[in-house]
Amino acid sequence: MKDKYWAKNKYSTVDPLDYETARFRTHAGKLIDETEKRAVLDLLLNSGVDYKKEPKILDVATGPGRLAFYLKDNLQEAKITGVDINENMLRRAREVARGKKLNINFIKGDIYHLPFQEKQFDAVTGLRFSMHLPDIDSLIRELARVLKKDGILIFDIFNLDSILKLRSSGKNHSRQFSGWYNISDLIDISFQNGLEFVQKKGLFLCGETSLRKFPENLLFMLSAFVRPPLFLQNFSTKIVLCFRKI
C-alpha cells in the first residue's frame, strides 16, 4: 500500500510551468482540460447551488489553480478558495491571480486535514487527486466535514469498470491501491460520511494516454470518445461524481 502522502513527495519539486505545459498546452491537453473543467461546472450548475448568492467554493488539490480560475470566470459572484500542499504550485496560482486581478484566495493546506472549521463551504470541487491519495475514506470524511448542509462535493476518479479495465481487476483494488475505483464503492463510502449521490458524468472512453498520442488534426473525430453518449458513460475511463451533504 502506498503511503497516503506519496504524491506530495512526488510533486513537491515539480515546476508548475513544466506541469502545465506537459499536460495541458498541447491540442489534446487543452481538450482534456476543457472537458474536465466543463464537467465540474455543469454538475455544479445542475446541483441546485445558487451561484448568484456568492457561494463559497473550495477547490482542493488546486495545483496552479486551473479549475479555480475556470470556476471564477464562469461564476463571477462565487467566493473561491484554492488549497494545495505544494507551495510551488500555489506561488504560480497567486501570480496568475494577480495578473488577472482575480480575487481568489490560494492557501497551503493538507487535504486530509483542511485548515477550515466545519460547515464552511457551499461546494467543494477538485480534479486529479483521488488517483494519488490512497486513504479515500479519510479524504471523503474530511471533505464532507467542511461542507455546509446541502453543500455539493464534486471530484473525478479513474473508473475501475471502464472499457480499458486497466491496472486492477475484481476486488483486488481494495487491497492494493491502484488509483482506480469502483463507483458503487465510492457511493457507499460517501453515504457513510453523510453524502448522497446526485449525478455523474463519464469522460474519455479511449483513455488520456491514447488521446494525447492521437494526431492533432484528427482530434475532432473523437468527440464520442471524449464526451461519450449516456449509454456508454458507465464504461468511461474517468467519471466525475457529484454528491450532496445530507
21-62, pLDDT tens digit by residue?
777 888 888 999 999 999 999 999 999 888 778 999 999 999
The Cβ-side half-sphere exposure at 220, using a 13 Å CA radius, reads 1
Supply the pLDDT for residue 218: 76
Residue 88, H or E segment: helix 87-100
175-207 pLDDT, tens digit per residue, is 457 788 999 999 999 999 999 999 999 998 887
Percentage of residues of the chain with pLDDT beyond 90: 59
Cα–Cα distance, 156 to 202 (Å, whole number): 9
CB of 28 within 8 A of CB of 216?
Answer: yes
CB of 59 within 8 A of CB of 114?
Answer: no
Written as nine digits, the cell of 155 is 471530484
Cα–Cα distance, 196 to 152 (Å, whole number): 10
Supply the pLDDT for residue 198: 97
Average pLDDT, the chain: 88
Average pLDDT over residues 224-236: 86
Asked if the model's pLDDT at residue 80 lies above 80, the reply is: yes
The pTM (predicted TM-score) of the whole model is: 0.90
Supply the pLDDT for residue 168: 47
